[in-house]
Amino acid sequence: MQQWKSLLSEANVGAVLWNEPLAKYTTWKIGGPADVLIVPETKEQLSELVTLLHAHQIPWILLGRGSNMLIADKGIRGAVIKLGKGFEHCSFDGCTASAGGSMSFVKLSVLAGKQGLTGLEFAGGIPGSVGGAVYMNAGAHGSDVSRIFKSADIVLETGELVTYAAEDMAFDYRHSILHERKGIVTGAVFALEYGDREQISAVMASYKDRRRRTQPLQSATAGSVFRNPPGDHAARLIEAAGLKGLRIGGAEISVQHANFIENTGQATAEDVLALMEHIKATVADKNGIQLVREVYVMGER
């Protein structure tokens, strides 16, 4: 650890925070400390950081906007990278939208609609970052990132800066090449189309109203916990198994949407993990369907 401190203190890599609690950075409000949290503000700082970590075999993970992620109670050993405000930007050129990796995907969709651009309406309820959305091919309402993706700038785990086009990304359901080829999306470009502002606004308003009616938006959650199995919905299977409202410790299956787990105030990561395992076992026993977790679990248990 002392060697890490010397390396990082001498490098131009952005803010460096030691033994930093991570719960405040996640939408679940759960998670122990990182050995070190590093917040680069430029591509150059990020590339230098990743190159340094790679050269000294220091393990690292990326923390986006903290959605779709469960951090273990003992935290993260190694480095956690969080892109800073320097990556939180967007611009529009005709039908093309460009955005930094830490830009809110929701905010990008709203701004695109105000430009009279259609194609990003589905993103209005996806709480993560642009980089996270590209990483997992985020989607909703019958669309996903792959349908509008043009290219992305990426820092690979060696520190090399590359640009990937759509054909390089191996997009699939909640999947991209970055699941196999570790890297960090610093920015992405999306191909949209001109549309009617009022119609775009109406569609987004209808999606927002539906989320308000069906999802526990005021609670600390990480969004959908399990992937929808082919031809069915995880929420329907969980509700049919009689699990709505079940609580373990401070974690509770939402009575509003069965595929959400709420932190009722004092939930630990172990509470959430125990509840997820109970859901999987119960649904498998009752329906013979193996639910696949959509939430990423990271850290030391």
Residues acting as catalytic residues: 174, 224, 294
What is the C-alpha separation between 198 and 205, in angstroms, rounded? 10
CB 141 within 8 A of CB 122: yes
**Distance between CA 171 and CA 142 in Å, rounded?**
15
Q: Where are the alpha helices (DSSP H) in 152-263?
A: 197-214, 234-240
DSSP string, 9-57: HHS--SEEEEEEE-GGGSTT----EEEEEEE--SHHHHHHHHHHHHHTT
Say if residues 222 and 68 touch (Cβ distance below 8 Å): yes
Sheet holding 261-263, edge to edge: 247-248, 251-253, 261-263
Query: To 10 degrees, the CA torsion angle through 62, 64, 67, 73?
Result: 40
Could you tell me which residues are beta bridge partners of residue 39? Answer: 15
| Cα–Cα distance measured from residue 71 to residue 28, given in angstroms and rounded to the nearest whole number | 9
Q: Map residue 213 onto helix, strand or coil.
A: helix
Alpha carbon distance 157, 256 (integer Å): 40
Distance CA 129, CA 143 (A): 17
* Tally of CB atoms within 10 A around 96: 13
User: Could you give the CA distance from residue 225 to residue 258 in angstroms, rounded to a whole number?
Assistant: 9
Rounded to whole angstroms, how far apart are CA atoms 15 and 38? 6
